[in-house]
Amino acid sequence: MRGIIHPSRRRFLATAGAAGLAAVAAPRIARAQAVTVSVGRQPWAAGNSPVTQHMINNKLFEKKAKELGYELTVDWRDYPSAQPMVEAFVSNNLDLGMWGNTPIIRGLAAKQPWSILNVGEGHFRFVVATRKDSEIRTIADLKDKTVGALLGGDPYNAFSQILLSELGSGNPRDFGIKMINTPTQAQAATIPRGMDAAVLIYPAFLKAQKEVGTVGIVNSFGYTEDHYKGPAGDGAGHLLESVKKSPFYPDGYYLHRSFWMARDELLNKHPKLITAFVAAQQEAVDALKGLSPGAISDTVEKYWGLPSDLGAKVVEDEVLFRRGWVWPTEGDVGAVVETSKFMVAGRLIPAPLEWKLVLDNVAKAAPLLREAYDLSGKKPDESAFTATDAGDLRGLPTWQKDRWKARD
């Protein structure tokens, strides 16, 4: 005999059954994955400063990550130079960072678990500077003098390239030049006692030129500065013929490119975050391109310490704003290989990098950069990548590396 179900019990069972059917039928809603990523930047340097500042102000990395399924917290960290970031990478205490060729080359040579991503800044002007009462007027006048530079960094590499083209060797010792390490650009820009000259990044030079009268001799683009007096003429703006010997011409004596780097642990575990990070950078460049160079500089005045008219000069040099995009090209990556050859001449490393080693490294992130490229609104076509009249070395992007010229 069947039992009698009370009406209230019947209503409960019907409701529960309907709810169960609804739960089965409803689509599963994925929960966003919560992740914290640490990002190092160099806000006292060049183009990375306004780009990352715009990303921070508008939470662009977080927004792009959310579109790809992440609830992201970004731990932004400011560094005065590359070396502390490299040390943080070594100790697994930083996920993303940006630095120039020298530490990248050393990291690749040591087979560190790091990957090259995209261009963080480039075409940075380095100035060989001295005091306004100095008798040093040309590069040849630096023989047997003391020169300050960030040893193991881009300022030293740029100086080495200038020496090579102007005097025939990239090794300062061949000319009796004593090098002093100057990790603090602001101090070096004053040309303190004990130094006859220094190699300065452009923002530091412009600030010191205005405030203490520091003068320039030549710059890494291959032009004379205001204190120059020699075969090319007097004063600033004369092209030095020796720059045409450089393999980096028309970029200058030195092909400065700083790349964003990722620890492979992050790239392998959360590849979509790499895509989001690079897409956020491109969105920042798109937005900043709508401003005047002076207005872009004003967004980072607290770091550069420059008025709009001087900061605009730094912005106008920047390859990211000249191009309007962050995608790495064959020419950009070539800077890593070519610079490694000159580091051998300067006795910084025993042997140059092989192209295969570098190609294998960029291959890890190349598909993710292509995804970021596809996500971005404004895209350069192939003719923009391969333009030869733009004033900087270019080439096809890393995701088309199979079409690059044969190397080695």
CATH label of the domain that carries residue 188: 3.40.190.10
pLDDT band at residue 6 under the 50/70/90 scheme: very low
Q: Which of 195, 225, 245 is the last residue of a domain?
A: 245
208 and 225 within one domain = yes
Does residue 12 sit within a domain? Answer: no
Greatest alpha-carbon span in the chain:
116
Does residue 4 sit within a domain? Answer: no
Q: Which of 245, 270, 298 is the last residue of a domain?
A: 245
pLDDT at 5 over 90: no
| Among candidate residues 391, 249, 401, the one with its CA nearest the CA of residue 327 | 401
The answer to whether 228 and 141 have CB atoms below 8 angstroms apart is no
338 and 322 within one domain = yes
182 and 266 within one domain = no
Does residue 27 sit within a domain? Answer: no
- Identify the residue with better confidence: 265 or 185: 265
Does residue 14 sit within a domain? Answer: no
For the segment 165-181, the average pLDDT, to the nearest whole number, is 94
Whole-angstrom Cα distance, residue 144 to residue 271? 51
Q: What angle do CA 310, 119, 387 make, to 5 degrees?
A: 90
Residue 230: which residues within 8 A CB-CB, separation 6 or more? 137, 138, 140, 224
Whole-angstrom Cα distance, residue 74 to residue 37? 5
Q: Which of 192, 215, 245 is the last residue of a domain?
A: 245
For the segment 359-366, the average pLDDT, to the nearest whole number, is 97
Does residue 276 sit within a domain? Answer: yes
398 and 274 within one domain = yes
260 and 113 within one domain = yes
For the segment 76-97, the average pLDDT, to the nearest whole number, is 95
323 and 219 within one domain = no
317 and 194 within one domain = no
369 and 357 within one domain = yes
372 and 297 within one domain = yes
Residue 7 backbone dihedrals phi, psi, to 5 degrees = -55, -40
pLDDT at 371 over 90: yes
Question: What's the total number of domains in the chain?
Answer: 2
pLDDT band at residue 346 under the 50/70/90 scheme: low
Whole-angstrom Cα distance, residue 310 to residue 297? 9
Does residue 408 sit within a domain? Answer: no
Q: Tokens standing for 3?
A: 């039992």
268 and 397 within one domain = yes
pLDDT digits 0-9 by tens, 213-272: 999 999 999 999 999 999 999 999 999 999 998 888 888 998 889 999 999 999 999 999
Counting DSSP H helices and E strands in the chain, the numbers are 17, 12
Whole-angstrom Cα distance, residue 62 to residue 164? 45
Which range of residues forms the domain containing residue 321? 33-123+256-403
pLDDT digits 0-9 by tens, 17-67: 444 444 444 444 457 899 999 999 999 989 999 999 999 999 999 999 999
For the segment 380-388, the average pLDDT, to the nearest whole number, is 91
pLDDT at 97 over 80: yes
What is the reported pLDDT for 30?
A: 58
Does residue 22 sit within a domain? Answer: no
Does residue 131 sit within a domain? Answer: yes
For the segment 356-378, the average pLDDT, to the nearest whole number, is 94
265 and 118 within one domain = yes
pLDDT at 376 over 60: yes
What is the reported pLDDT for 408?
A: 65
- 3 state SS of 37: strand
- Identify the residue with better confidence: 171 or 234: 234
130 and 237 within one domain = yes
Question: pLDDT exceeding 70 applies to what percent of the chain?
Answer: 92
Question: pLDDT exceeding 90 applies to what percent of the chain?
Answer: 73
What is the reported pLDDT for 255?
A: 82
pLDDT at 4 over 60: no
